């Protein structure tokens, strides 16, 4: 029986939950799928099973993973929910039982139940494991071919606390670096930092206190440094107990950017201070002598969340732009330089991951080039050449919305930027989605090929590629 969802902006149109798990052995192809593109493209995003309890937030839907298996010019597709503790209990009850941000609003039947999250934000391949990630819990493992749920993975009981949805993989060592916020319990200043070797063994863990309790969605690392952004999307249990927003925008607290030498410890973190702003995602960063350079999609104020007084965010300030932060580690001040790299509404920045943490030339991001943007969709994908400042775009009409672009090299030895850009695109005129493949060096020329679905992939968050 079909589930009826409320008329909520995050539950209609391209956000509308997909109520089926499907398998399609061979998708219809438009154009051509490159023969040297062989592997699996995964996408993750929120897809609630049932109508929410109370107000819905996009970040709170059950994780649903989509896998596009690509081989010899053909593409198959399947999608599966991550069968977390929450998903299993709600599936048995045939209704929603949990809320995402305020457990005081949970159904009394699940009082005291400890869940393993929603596994709805990112999906990464590392150490021979496919891990679905959400920032409040340990990773959730799935089979890379069938997407069968295997359950939580805590690195053989070594992981304490949550894991970010945005780990960074060092292209030279194969190590996976990650952090956790609220590492001292629900809404706390305590944060953690961890390192996992290329085989998947947790080798380093340490804890430190941030300047204040905040939602810290992403971080970035260079070959020599780790950068932690503490920005004023604050968490407050006091607000929650008063029925006010658990997470809210408090610009008076300002921004703190902590830079830690990878050869040092948390005691060596140096805190820089800046104007209030918010970053969900980093493109990349690198260290050049005594200078650290970070490329980010920065908002003037955090979207999706209210101000601390309950008022709504300013939509004109809740649009990110691609910017560059520059830190002088040899200086005596705690400020840093911010400059705009592109004026378009931008998000979901990526790069050729073989250059993660290193000096790099090519970056990619989703953006909106329409004079009157509708909703939160992105009608274009962009390629920025950091050496020249040139930006090329593949633009679509208002009826199409693209996901985060993912770069795939043509081969392991290919030059930086020589490869393909992959994304899911939603077509509002047909309520269907397709897998888009562009030549990463010439995205403005349009698709090389498309793999067409007969249903939508709901707007989600992140994806990654697993080569064969």
- Rounding to the nearest 10 degrees, give the CA dihedral for residues 267, 135, 123, 103: 160
Q: What is residue 36's predicted lDDT score, i.e. its pLDDT?
A: 96
What is the Cβ-side half-sphere exposure of residue 41, based on CA atoms within 13 angstroms?
25
Asked if residue 131 lies in contact with residue 196, where contact means CB atoms within 8 angstroms, the answer is no
> Parallel, antiparallel, or unpaired for β 447-452 and 140-142?
unpaired
Rounded Cα–Cα distance for residues 128 and 118 (Å)? 22
The count of other CB atoms within 10 Å of the CB of residue 52 is: 19
Could you tell me if 326 and 286 are in contact, meaning their C-beta atoms sit under 8 angstroms apart?
no
Q: Which of 222, 261, 259, 260 is nearest to 357 (CA)?
A: 222
pLDDT score, position 376: 58
Mean pLDDT, contiguous 10-residue spans, the chain (468 residues): 87 95 98 98 98 89 98 98 98 94 86 95 98 97 98 97 97 98 94 98 98 98 98 92 88 98 97 98 98 98 92 90 98 97 96 98 95 74 98 94 97 97 97 98 98 97 97
d(CA 433, CA 463): 15
Q: Per DSSP, which regions of 379-442 are E strands?
A: 380-385, 391-395, 400-402, 406-409, 419-427, 432-439
Q: How many CA atoms lie within 13 A of 124 on its CB side?
A: 20
Question: 421: Cβ–Cβ under 8 A, 6 or more apart, which residues?
Answer: 364, 381, 383, 405, 406, 407, 408, 437, 438, 439, 440, 443
Q: What CA–CA distance (Å, rounded) separates 97 from 223?
A: 44
Token pair in block for residue 252: 């008076």
Residue 244 CA, chain-centre distance (Å), reads 26
Return the pLDDT at 421: 98
């Amino acid at each position: 029986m079909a589930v009826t969802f409320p008329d909520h902006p995050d539950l209609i149109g391209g956000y509308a939950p997909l109520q089926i798990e499907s398998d399609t052995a061979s998708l219809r192809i438009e154009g051509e799928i490159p023969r040297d593109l062989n592997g699996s493209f995964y996408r993750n995003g929120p897809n609630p099973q049932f109508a929410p309890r109370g107000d819905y937030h996009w970040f709170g839907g059950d994780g649903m993973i989509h896998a596009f298996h690509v081989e010899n010019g053909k593409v198959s597709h399947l999608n599966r929910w991550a069968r977390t503790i929450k998903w299993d209990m709600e599936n048995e009850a045939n209704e929603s039982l949990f809320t995402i941000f305020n457990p005081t609003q949970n159904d009394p039947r699940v009082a005291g139940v400890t869940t393993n999250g929603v596994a709805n934000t990112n999906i990464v391949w590392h150490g021979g494991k496919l891990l679905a990630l959400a920032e409040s819990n340990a990773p959730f493992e799935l089979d890379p071919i069938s997407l069968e749920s295997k359950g939580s993975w805590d690195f053989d009981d070594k992981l304490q606390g949550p894991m970010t949805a945005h780990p960074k993989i060092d292209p030279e060592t194969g190590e996976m670096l990650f952090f956790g916020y609220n590492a001292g319990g629900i809404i706390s200043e305590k944060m953690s930092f961890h390192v996992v070797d290329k085989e998947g063994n947790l080798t380093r863990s340490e804890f430190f206190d941030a300047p204040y309790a905040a939602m810290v969605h992403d971080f970035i690392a260079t070959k020599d440094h780790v950068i932690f952004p503490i920005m004023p999307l604050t968490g407050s249990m006091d607000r929650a107990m008063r029925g006010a927003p658990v997470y809210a925008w408090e610009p008076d607290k300002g921004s703190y950017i902590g830079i830690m030498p990878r050869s040092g410890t948390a005691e060596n973190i140096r805190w820089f201070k800046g104007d209030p702003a918010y970053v969900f995602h980093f493109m990349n960063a690198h260290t050049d002598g005594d200078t650290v350079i970070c490329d980010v999609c920065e908002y003037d104020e955090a979207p999706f969340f209210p101000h601390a007084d309950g008022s709504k965010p300013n939509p004109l300030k809740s649009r990110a732009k691609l910017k560059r932060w520059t830190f002088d580690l040899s200086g005596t001040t705690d400020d840093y330089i911010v400059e705009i790299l592109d004026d378009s509404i931008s998000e979901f920045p990526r790069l050729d991951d073989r250059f993660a943490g290193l000096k790099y030339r090519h970056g990619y991001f989703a953006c909106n080039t329409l004079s009157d943007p509708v909703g939160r969709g992105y009608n274009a994908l962009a390629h920025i050449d950091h050496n020249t400042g040139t930006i090329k775009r593949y633009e679509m009409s208002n009826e199409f919305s693209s996901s985060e672009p993912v770069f795939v090299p043509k081969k392991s030895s290919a030059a930086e930027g020589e490869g393909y850009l992959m994304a899911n695109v939603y077509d509002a005129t047909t309520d269907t989605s397709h897998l888009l493949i562009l030549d990463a060096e010439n995205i403005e020329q349009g698709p090389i090929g498309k793999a067409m679905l007969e249903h939508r992939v709901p707007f989600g968050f992140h994806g990654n590629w697993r080569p064969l």
